[in-house]
Amino acid sequence: MKVNSESILKVNGLTKSVQLEGKTLSILQPVNLQVNAGETLAIIGSSGSGKTTLLSILAGLDLPTSGEVYIKNHPLHQFNEEQRSQVRAEHVGFIFQQFLLINSLTALENVMLPAELANIENPKEKGIELLKLVGLENRLEHFPSQLSGGEQQRVAIARAFISQPDILFADEPTGNLDTKTGKYIADLLFDLNDRLGTTLVLVTHDPKLADRCARKVEMDSGVLTEASITSDSVVNANIANDQNAQEEPNNTTANNEKEEGAVCPT
Ligand SMILES: Nc1ncnc2c1ncn2[C@@H]1O[C@H](COP(=O)(O)OP(=O)(O)O)[C@@H](O)[C@H]1O
Ligand SMILES: [Mg+2]
């Protein structure tokens, strides 16, 4: 996977708080982060620490309370819902733990939908091609209720890749799957990510999955810190609240210890 110094995601002083029963609940402390094109980043941390909240804001699904979020120089924090949805359609893919397919649409229609919304040419051909890539060419007309969990997540992966996103966010994509199916889904995700040159930001509880990313950050009670850095990953996250943190962008190549590609459809 090629990594270059082009910033695809930049976050400055991002916070999130909500009003709950008249009190302010602070979910995210000032978060600073930069992710460069082609990077693979794992966000780890215990349940309730703020990972999903952060990912939703990074992907333009939610707004921060304060601070800045740029996807490819688009200031999401200044954009309204329509503008953010345009950025999402052009640049962003998202995979959820619960798959979130549309139950009334077939596998193929689910995959085609983002392409149709983004006016991408030949959505049907592209959808079929992607469903073949995830090993579901015999399930095109199946509805989500007729698919196993692993199959539903493979449809969701095909859907996430159809608009050729620059950056893919995955929130515990294997969290609802058994170990074997989870491994297959992870292989598929990293394989497609590698092939299509996408940047990957992955939230996971699974240390093995996190280890497959070139870089890891950890969320603890809304505070994001660099968890561990491999020697050749791009070093660019600030430690939250560390006013003296120096940014030192590297121009290097990420080295995933990628396991063999996906081989056993589940
Ligand atoms: N809209 C909301 N209103 C109130 N509390 C929220 C809201 N969204 C998230 N939280 C709280 O913020 C914390 C972080 O949630 P979340 O981002 O889902 O954590 P994680 O994904 O790490 O498990 C949790 O304590 C959760 O209950
Ligand atoms: Mg979560």
Question: Is the CB of residue 249 below 6 angstroms from any atom belonging to ligand 1?
Answer: no
Ligand 1 pocket test target in 16, 52, 53, 203 with most atoms within 8 Å of CB: 53
User: 256 or 153: which carries more pLDDT confidence?
Assistant: 153
pTM comes to 0.84
Q: Whose CA is nearest to atom 12 of ligand 1?
A: 27
Report, as an integer, the average pLDDT of 92-102.
93
CATH superfamily of 7-229: P-loop containing nucleotide triphosphate hydrolases (3.40.50.300)
Q: How far is the CA of 204 from the centre of ligand 2 (A)?
A: 9
Residue 55 has pLDDT above 80, yes or no: yes
CA of 171 to the centre of ligand 2 (A): 7
Q: Which of 102-116, 121-135, 150-164, 250-264 comes out lowest in average pLDDT?
A: 250-264
| Residue 18 near ligand 1, beta carbon < 6 Å | yes
How far apart are the C-alpha atoms of 246 and 244, rounded to whole Å? 6
**Which of 248, 235, 96 has its CA nearest to residue 177?**
96
Q: Is the CB of 53 under 6 A from ligand 1?
A: yes
Give the least confident one: 93-97, 187-191, 254-258: 254-258
Q: Would the CB of 174 count as within 6 Å of ligand 1?
A: no
pLDDT, tens only, 171-197: 999 998 889 888 988 998 999 888 888
What pLDDT digit, counting tens, does each position of 17-31 carry? 999 999 999 999 999
The closest alpha carbon to 134, from 214, 195, 81, belongs to 195
> Is 244 a residue whose pLDDT tops 80?
no
pLDDT at 228: 57
Is the CB of 204 within 6 Å of ligand 1? no
**Does residue 31 contact residue 237 with C-beta atoms inside 8 Å?**
no
* Residue 104 scores a pLDDT above 60: yes
Distance (Å, rounded) from C-alpha 189 to C-alpha 147? Answer: 19
User: 3-state class of 8 per DSSP?
Assistant: strand
For residue 233, what pLDDT band results from cuts at 50, 70 and 90?
very low
Ligand 1 site, residue 48, Cβ cutoff 6 A: yes
Whether the pLDDT of residue 246 is over 90: the answer is no
The residue contributing the CA closest to ligand 1 atom 10 is 27
Q: Is the CB of 58 under 6 A from ligand 1?
A: no
Q: Which of 190, 126, 125, 177 is nearest to 151 (CA)?
A: 177
What is the 168 CA–ligand 2 centroid distance (Å)? Answer: 16
Q: What pLDDT sits at residue 206?
A: 87
- pLDDT at residue 109 tops 60: yes
* Percent of the chain predicted with pLDDT > 70: 83
